[in-house]
Structure 1
Amino acid sequence: MQSSINWPKGYTPGFTDNFCSNEVIVAGMNIDEVWKYLNDTKYWPLYYSNVADIHFYDDYQDSKLYPAARFFFRTFGFPIEAEITEYVAPSNGQPGRISWHGWDGELGTDQRLDVIHAWLIEELDGGRIRILTQESQIGEPAKVLAKTVPNPMINGHQAWLDGIVHSVRTKLEI
């Protein structure tokens, strides 16, 4: 049975203003290799062109995500403040999980955007790895994104997934 995303209250897909879901299932990789390229933000701009200006707060000197980390990045034209809401490294057959709450704009304004961007990486039978990313969004900018064709969230997140897979296959290093 495949795992699913753990949604915090208020972000259940179908009840938000926009939702997107992307996944890949690949063979010939191990879960630790996949986790490396998602968990360490120093790789993100190398394989995903839609992310920039990543930095952490609290004088954190590393580039790896961690529980409750606060960080900033730019994506889809938005300057995103973010905080990790779920962080579970894969171990002993359990899937890896990373989710963050991201936001832009002042609370209570039409420019406000709130998202939960969630990732799940799990081992499947036959030596396969499943990488799932889903994002649930609230706010006027989310309503606009939901009506945009082609859907920039679906296309962008697919590029992120493809970038992770390519990085594992080519053993991308800095």
Structure 2
Amino acid sequence: MTTQNAIDWPEKYLPGTGDNFVSNEVIVQGLTAARVWHFLTDTSEWEGYYDNVADISFPQGGGPQLKDGLLFRFGTFGFPPLDAHVVEFRAPGDGAPGRLSWTARQDGGPEERLDVLHAWLVEDLPGGRVRVLTQETQHGRPAAALAQERPNPMLNGHQAWLDGLVSAASK
């Protein structure tokens, strides 16, 4: 029997406690967690394989490589650039999965306020396979509006990110 790892959730962002939650996963052969990790954590690669991200910047310096504690900004899903903060960063290795998560916020009045945690888990599986799991919990009225749309733009957008990530890492 093989068990798979899970996202480590801060209580504030537990799945099902926000206004929107999505979960996407791929398992593919012929890639390693280390190879996928490069394309996930180097933000200079994102716009090359994912068309729903733009205007990536690092207001306090650093980047384009993500790391623990890094502050960055990016636009996605038509929102003005969100202020993001890497809150978990552990590269895959020694049988442990890679773990990456960031919070992202948009301030403003109640109609604009948004607070999210976007988490990633990248792990090698037996048989030359890699598993990439991404999940996001969102709080705020813009998140609630997204959750009501059909098809769900977050679910489809994150699947496009996963598909692009796998494609980029496969080249």
Note whether the superposition's TM-score is higher than 0.5.
Answer: yes
Q: Distance in 2 between matches of 1:159 and 1:87?
A: 22
Query: In the alignment, which residue of structure 1 is the partner of 2:149?
Result: 148
Counterpart check, 1:17 vs 2:47: no
Give the Cα–Cα distance (whole angstroms) in 2 for the partners of residues 31 and 13 of structure 1: 25
Matched pairs, number? 168
Correspondence list, 1:110-149, <5 A: 110-149=111-150
1:103 is aligned with what amino acid?
R
1:1-174 matches, cutoff 5 A = 1-60=3-62, 62-78=63-79, 79-106=81-108, 109-170=110-171
Distance in 2 between residues matched to 1:138 and 1:56, nearest whole Å: 24
Which amino acid in the other structure matches residue 149 of structure 2? T
**What SS is found at the alignment partner of 1:20?**
strand
Q: Which amino acid aligns with 1:12?
A: L
Q: 1:57: how far off?
A: 2.5
Q: Counterparts of 1:102 and 1:114 in 2: how far apart (Å)?
A: 6
* Partner secondary structure for residue 13 of structure 2: coil
Task: Supply the AA of the counterpart residue of 2:78.
Answer: G
Unaligned runs of 5+ in 1: none
Q: CA offsets, 1:25-84, max 9 Å, x none? A: 000111111000001000000000000110112222x41000010000000011211001
Quote the Cα distance in structure 1 between the aligned partners of 2:166 and 2:112: 34
Residue-by-residue CA offset, 1:75-115 (whole Å, 9 max, x unaligned): 00112110011111111010001100001122x62310100
Q: Which whole-Å CA distance do the structure 2 matches of 1:47 and 1:55 have between them?
A: 18
The amino acid across from 1:140 in the alignment is R
Give the SS at the match of 2:11: coil
User: Cα distance, 1:132 vs. partner?
Assistant: 0.3
> 1:59 is matched by which residue type in structure 2?
G
Query: Alignment identity in percent?
Result: 52
Coordinate RMSD, CA, aligned: 1.0
